[in-house]
A and B are shown apart, each in its own frame.
Chain A
């Protein structure tokens, strides 16, 4: 029989048998080989623990001002010293970090969700719908986010929830472009064409093929969005438009500490500055690692 007579030539695929059988396990294995990404993940976990569990181990009063304790340098009682109104800086770093992380992560996810919906609809429907939706994105990108933020802040003072919504809605544009591009290539894949030719619904094409296949792109986009949003929160608060005292976040701490820095009180700005840099770098490293891990065709 020919089936046995003609052994299929072993292509590269069969010569290089992957050790792991599922895509996810392969991705995890690749991620673990990326040292920088693993370090990034550890940094994120440590900082999250620091902000959310830290206050229980190192309780401080972040609501009442204690002028008797103001402007102390780092020491045994206050590891990182105190600020101009007597708040413990290490405690404040945890307290502000909660806000920074919560707002950043929530806004990043919101931006990704909105961007995914917008981009996938535009890409899948195509034609003039796509043209109109993408021109909206172009227009949005043409207006600087900072300008929108300044205008909004001038009108109203947002709380944590408001800040999440505002940041989410100024940063969904880039992910929407990414997801649209992904959808455009996926919707013309042979398996989607085959499904449509035999009468499969659009819902099935999107739910069973487009979304599962763009999960990797979406996750990677979300990671970068979170990093951007954390930076944006710091940015906005630094300009004095973020959450209001006594609440604070890392950007707010930087802003408050800036004048003091000239008088040598470095502990007011170095810790929150480092925290922002660390978290943003960590999220970016994780994003890079995820992108490489998911890229099946890249190797």
Chain B
């Protein structure tokens, strides 16, 4: 019997401006021991389905249809009945481990609390079982770690604790809502491995909510694709990911940036075979002066014992017309490096040359002139545009700073030109940023960055907050514009697949130092450092067959390292 069955499930939210049907007619089932992945882009209603299955919908939501968990109807069930179900029969792993744990309670006590909520267990037995659970989720020296507070654990360890809480009462159904989205790829691979093992060991059914097709390929048995509140396609993971039927699934899969991987066992090219030596100098220093040149740059935040060495003697150069991808996991210093290039963070030591002059010694007019050659696109599509300005005012801001004498008619023309360039309709100019979608907002940011025809564009995770199909459009616009206008680009991203597609050279950073750099083809296909190799191996690819093989290889490599 299915552990979760929803029949014609619908959820409507009543909001200030009317009722919104977020989910319509969703019918799905999860069998014991099976993982069903619910995929879709933001706003598709996938998380709402997960919350409805636990009876955790917010107060302004009404559910219709039926959702049966282990024989118990959840829709319309009284709160007391739901409480008995939650945490024992069905439990949930949320996206953000930092907020899922109580910061003031030791993790062992938090797990013990879950155990005692649902069973008549003595405090000492519960504490012992909590240690046991920490061991099962792979936390080293669990007896000591049980006494730790959440802030003393890393993000990955915290997520392991959250999982320990979720499996504390051996649930029959585990709902995981984007369980690895907030984590780095190497940690993501470990967490997925853990979830897979736990599900296989105990025969737990898993409902996995995710937007990441690589995670689906790595973990799911079956897939349900959601679009605008409805399921458009269901099937086995290989059928859906390799032979999609519905147009939307095809589009979605086509938009996923794929990491090209070297065929297994292929030898790295011998140095002499490497193409055009002048381009292949590791840090790309060929003849002409670079557009931006960071030499031996260190950045330290804070002083004394609390000092954080964000960057430690890094060298990065970006030449005219080229794109350099800056990759690394969180805390690697990639964003700090971009901010140093922008002059927003002063280096503690080392020199920064922008267009051949030192930004630190330039003063007044010269400094402003240098700055007018930079365009900036930052990650957050919401925070990037001032909500109190119109789109036209946002785009015109650099003109207001650097072209004070420009007539308003000229300004108007220029705004229309850049709107055309980023493929947005001119009519958007008078709208408020609030009325735009995330992808449109990022294109407005791009338009603003390009309005002065910069020689250097610094893009810090410009597409990380966007859905894949939107990301594809934004990257395509960016690439076309770069071909037309020939600006150099420093492209910061945690997504290796995007960087591989987009950048000619790549710089891999880790904990404030550069691990390796070189042309994208060499570095990302035949990495020379273990770190880059591990990073690449951890990226899940959206092809279940290939991913299974990669996973086996990765585990074999890790086992070999341990041995």
Contacts and interface: CB of A to CB of B under 8 A. Distances in A.
Contacts of B368: 199
A64 interface: no
B432 A21 contact: yes
A59 interface: no
**Tier of interface size on chain A:** 35 or more
A299 B343 CA distance: 37
Interface in B13-54: 15-17, 20, 22, 40-44
Contacts of B453: none
B42 A11 contact: yes
B380 interface: yes
A208 B397 CA distance: 10
B251 A6 contact: yes
A12 B42 CA distance: 8
A114 to B, nearest CB: 24
Contacts of A200: 397-398, 401
B125 interface: no
B351 interface: no
Contacts of A190: 378-380, 383-384
Contact of B371 (A11, A21, A199, A296): A199
Interface stretch (B179-187, B234-242, B279-287, B437-445): B437-445
A194 B401 contact: no
Interface string A1-26: 01101111111111111110111000
B368 to A, nearest CB: 5
A261 to B, nearest CB: 48
Q: Say whether chain B's binding surface is mostly helix, strand, loop, or mixed.
A: mixed
B243 interface: no
B344 interface: yes
Nearest to A196: B344
B208 interface: no
Contacts of B383: 189-191
Given A8-B437, A194-B378, A199 B367 contact: yes
Contacts of B44: 9
Contacts of B445: 194
Interface stretch (B101-109, B164-172, B324-332, B467-475): B467-475
Given A3-B473, A198-B452, A299-B16, A23 B387 contact: yes
A10 B228 contact: yes
A183 to B, nearest CB: 15
Interface in A250-271: none
A34 to B, nearest CB: 13
B363 interface: no
A204 interface: yes
A193 interface: yes
Interface in A172-211: 189-191, 193-201, 204, 208-209
Contacts of B115: none
B386 interface: yes
Interface in A206-253: 208-209, 212-213
A100 B380 CA distance: 48
A194 B376 contact: yes
A197 B344 contact: yes
Nearest to A15: B20
Interface in B343-374: 343-344, 367-368, 370-372, 374
Contact of A6 (B227, B255, B449): B255
Contact of A191 (B251, B370, B385): B385
Interface in B398-442: 398, 400-402, 423, 432, 434-435, 437-440
B448 interface: yes
B388 interface: yes
Given A5-B251, A16-B16, A194-B445, 15 more contacts: A2-B255, A6-B469, A10-B437, A12-B43, A17-B435, A18-B434, A21-B432, A189-B386, A198-B375, A199-B368, A199-B370, A199-B374, A200-B397, A204-B400, A208-B397
Q: Nearest 8 CB-CB pairs, A to B?
A: A199-B371, A6-B469, A9-B41, A190-B378, A197-B342, A11-B43, A190-B384, A190-B383
5 contacts: A6-B472, A17-B435, A191-B383, A191-B384, A198-B452
